[in-house]
């Protein structure tokens, strides 16, 4: 996958590897399509991430997110995985800055906490790492997940032909 690509390559990979695909088309943003690719269970082939989320504006890839969930694992394990990925991303891209922390007041014994780190290596491009933890005091249960999000807003500024994503495939309406 490369920035500005159509979804065709990702769809072909998902079909070839037997992964589920879900297309979301928000009614309020008709130019935006979101393609979620995930196995029926477990993680993506050759990866610890459980879901790949690709966002396309006018059929051009501008954002990719990898979501990491560890069903049955304690929050402390997930926090450790998050910290390890943060170290790897820091070595590759430079120090990530704290982007925000949020803690929702308990509602019915459930508390949600989020922590985000980010770096903007170039204008319009960003890398975010987000951890979300949910704890249920009534049941004594907690879970956590995290995501790494690559965003390239520069793709949205480029002029090129549109790509239409439909349930039955991908169409290039203005292609010779």
For the stretch 103-158, pLDDT in tens is 887 788 888 999 999 999 888 899 999 999 998 878 878 889 999 999 998 877 76
pLDDT at residue 104, rounded to an integer: 80
Point out the least confidently predicted range of 5-14, 20-29, 82-91, 167-176. 167-176
Q: How confident is the model at residue 9 (pLDDT cuts 50, 70, 90)?
A: very high
Among 12, 126, 30, smallest CA distance to 21 is for 12
Q: What is the mean pLDDT of the chain?
A: 87
Residue 110's Cβ-count burial label (10 Å; 0-12, 13-18, 19+) is middle
Work out the average pLDDT over 28-45. 95
CB 82 within 8 Å of CB 130: no
pLDDT at residue 142, rounded to an integer: 83
Q: How confident is the model at residue 40 (pLDDT cuts 50, 70, 90)?
A: very high
Which pTM value belongs to this model? 0.83
- The 10 Å Cβ neighbour count of residue 61 is 23
């Amino acid at each position: 996958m490369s920035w500005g690509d159509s979804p065709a390559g990702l769809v072909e990979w998902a079909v070839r590897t037997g992964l589920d695909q879900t297309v979301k088309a928000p009614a309020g943003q008709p130019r935006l399509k979101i393609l979620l690719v995930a196995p029926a269970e477990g993680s993506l082939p050759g990866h610890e991430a459980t879901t790949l989320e690709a966002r396309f504006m006018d059929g051009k890839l501008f954002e990719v997110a990898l979501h990491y969930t560890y069903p049955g694992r304690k929050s402390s394990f997930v926090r450790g995985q998050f910290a390890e990925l943060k170290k790897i991303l820091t070595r590759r891209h430079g120090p990530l800055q704290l982007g925000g922390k949020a803690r929702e007041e308990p509602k019915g014994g459930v508390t949600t906490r989020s922590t985000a780190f980010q770096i903007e290596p170039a204008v319009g491009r960003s890398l975010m790492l987000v951890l979300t933890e949910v704890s249920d005091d009534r049941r004594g249960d907690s879970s956590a997940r995290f995501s790494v999000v690559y965003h390239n807003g520069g793709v949205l500024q480029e002029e090129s032909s549109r790509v239409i994503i439909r349930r039955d495939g991908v169409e290039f309406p203005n292609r010779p």
